[in-house]
Chain A
Amino acid sequence: SQQGEEDPQALSIQEGENATMNCSYKTSINNLQWYRQNSGRGLVHLILIRSNEREKHSGRLRVTLDTSKKSSSLLITASRAADTASYFCAIQGAQKLVFGQGTRLTINP
């Protein structure tokens, strides 16, 4: 399956701590994307990393990609209560995006 698999399924940390989520996949990819979903809402695109890139930053977000290990990680630094959401990785293959099942992140005040 091309689907990404996120790990952990759920993560609970204190506000101000860093949160790290991982995504593993099994096939070759064109790019890998991360999305956020607030409870009961649609998904919002966070960041895209191409298959020839190893690291990318956007504000408090840092994404890494290791194509040899077929894995990616999303790091959120200095977490805030507003970061509470589900985070999905999405694998871009030939035509479609295939989403993983997500990591549920809870930031405790």
Chain B
Amino acid sequence: DVKVTQSSRYLVKRTGEKVFLECVQDMDHENMFWYRQDPGLGLRLIYFSYDVKMKEKGDIPEGYSVSREKKERFSLILESASTNQTSMYLCASSRLLSALNTQYFGPGTRLTVL
């Protein structure tokens, strides 16, 4: 089975801090994704990556950056955390060359910015 892990289940940070959220997958998937999930808004795509060192903006990239130095690892960075970034963050991965683009999700990181 595909396993996607995220570095923390719960995280509390202060406004202005730099925050790193780590995601690792063990199935050699090419695609990796970062979403945030908020009540009433569903899942919104922040960034995604199709390959090492490659990134694409999603629907809400402002205030975030990403890093993909290795195929299995995709990091989400909040350069200067703000209270409106309090949310549930979900990482996912999938195969690249597949019309059946099923995504596999990690357990999520609930981030609170005070």
Given A41-B108, A42-B106, A42-B107, A102-B42 contact (CB < 8 Å): yes
Q: Are B105 and A30 in contact (CB under 8 A)?
A: no
From residue B62, how far is it (CB to closest CB) to chain A in Å? 18
Q: Are A101 and B42 in contact (CB under 8 A)?
A: yes
Contact of A42 among B42, B48, B101, B108 (CB under 8 A): B108
Assess whether A97 is interfacial by the CB under 8 Å rule.
yes
Given A31-B99, A92-B101, A97-B101, A40-B43 contact (CB < 8 Å): no
Contact of A41 among B48, B102, B107 (CB under 8 A): B107
Cα-based distance from A88 to B4 in the complex (angstroms) = 19
Cα-based distance from A102 to B43 in the complex (angstroms) = 9
| Cβ < 8 Å to A, chain B residues 65-114 | 88, 90, 92, 99-108, 110
1/0 contact trace for A60-75 toward B, CB 8 Å?
Answer: 0000000000000000
Total chain A interface residues with beta-carbon distance under 8 A: 23
1/0 contact trace for B32-60 toward A, CB 8 Å?
Answer: 00010000111101001000000000100
Q: Is the interface of A mostly helix, strand, loop or mixed?
A: strand
From residue A30, how far is it (CB to closest CB) to chain B in Å? 6
Assess whether A99 is interfacial by the CB under 8 Å rule.
yes
B residues sitting closer than 8 Å to A (CB atoms) are 4, 35, 40-43, 45, 48, 58, 88, 90, 92, 99-108, 110
Sorted nearest first, the 5 A-B pairs with minimum C-beta distance are A42-B105, A101-B42, A99-B43, A43-B105, A42-B107
Sample 8 A-B pairs with CB under 8 A, ordered by A number: A30-B99, A45-B102, A45-B104, A88-B42, A97-B103, A99-B35, A99-B43, A101-B41
